[in-house]
Chain A
Amino acid sequence: DAKTTQPPSMDCAEGRAANLPCNHSTISGNEYVYWYRQIHSQGPQYIIHGLKNNETNEMASLIITEDRKSSTLILPHATLRDTAVYYCIVRVAMNYGGSQGNLIFGKGTKLSVKP
């Protein structure tokens, strides 16, 4: 089962920041937080990941709390094309202890960006 809790749905106005929360209170010290999204029925798309420091890339920012029990994905200027299901996933670092780092998806948050 997924180790994360996300709200089932959220709305965001186009051009505004979308802040998607995720709770992962049982996260282990060797587990990263990954974010993926799925637009309509396409394959999931990698967005960003982090361990304990905040991360930013061209798509989004990831804010992880100091105790690592929750995180927030930020899309700074949401567009209609960002409408998708967003998945927060925790998993061990790749190749740690022989793990292949399989992704286990939950139900995610359905983000609707409205004009």
Chain B
Amino acid sequence: EPEVTQTPSHQVTQMGQEVILRCVPISNHLYFYWYRQILGQKVEFLVSFYNNEISEKSEIFDDQFSVERPDGSNFTLKIRSTKLEDSAMYFCASRGRFYGYTFGSGTRLTVV
């Protein structure tokens, strides 16, 4: 069964550093998403991406965040200057035109 692959599974970074979280969506999917989940809290929507541009973003997705699909297969989330409160699980998801979302297994980001 096709999978969404996320790397790394765990990333530790110092406060103020830039991080890039990587995702390989399912190959024929058209819509791409990032969500995050702070420990013990809800899964929160960050951003959706379609046709090489952001289609919707939440209030969480401020100027410190950016997304890119650099080569037609990878989908990345960049956090420019990490804060302690950015520590969370980050989930990438993709979907085709008519089916439900497929989520990756997540990247656990720890900011120290």
Number of interface residues of B (CB under 8 A): 27
Residues in B with CB closer than 8 Å to A43 are: 4, 91, 93, 103-106
Q: Interface centre among A34, A94, A103, A107, by most B CB within 10 Å? A: A103
Main secondary structure of the interface of B (DSSP, over half): strand
Q: Does A104 contact B (CB under 8 A)?
A: yes
Q: Which of A31-52 contact B (CB under 8 A)?
A: 34, 36, 38, 41-46, 49
By a beta-carbon cutoff of 8 Å, the part of chain B in contact with chain A is 4, 31, 33, 35, 37, 42-45, 48, 50, 55-56, 89, 91, 93, 95, 97-98, 100-106, 108
- Known contacts A41-B106, A100-B31, A100-B55; A46/B45 CB under 8 A: no
By a beta-carbon cutoff of 8 Å, the part of chain A in contact with chain B is 34, 36, 38, 41-46, 49, 87, 94-95, 100-107
Residue of B nearest to A43 (CB): B103
Q: Is the pair A105, B101 in contact by a Cβ cutoff of 8 Å?
A: no
Q: Is the pair A102, B100 in contact by a Cβ cutoff of 8 Å?
A: no
The CA-CA distance from A77 to B108 in the complex, in Å, is 33
Q: Is the pair B56, A44 in contact by a Cβ cutoff of 8 Å?
A: no
* A–B pairs, 29, beta carbons within 8 Å: A36-B101, A38-B43, A41-B37, A41-B108, A42-B105, A42-B106, A43-B4, A43-B93, A43-B103, A43-B104, A43-B105, A43-B106, A44-B43, A44-B101, A44-B103, A45-B103, A46-B102, A87-B43, A94-B95, A94-B97, A94-B98, A95-B97, A102-B33, A103-B45, A105-B42, A105-B43, A105-B44, A105-B45, A107-B42
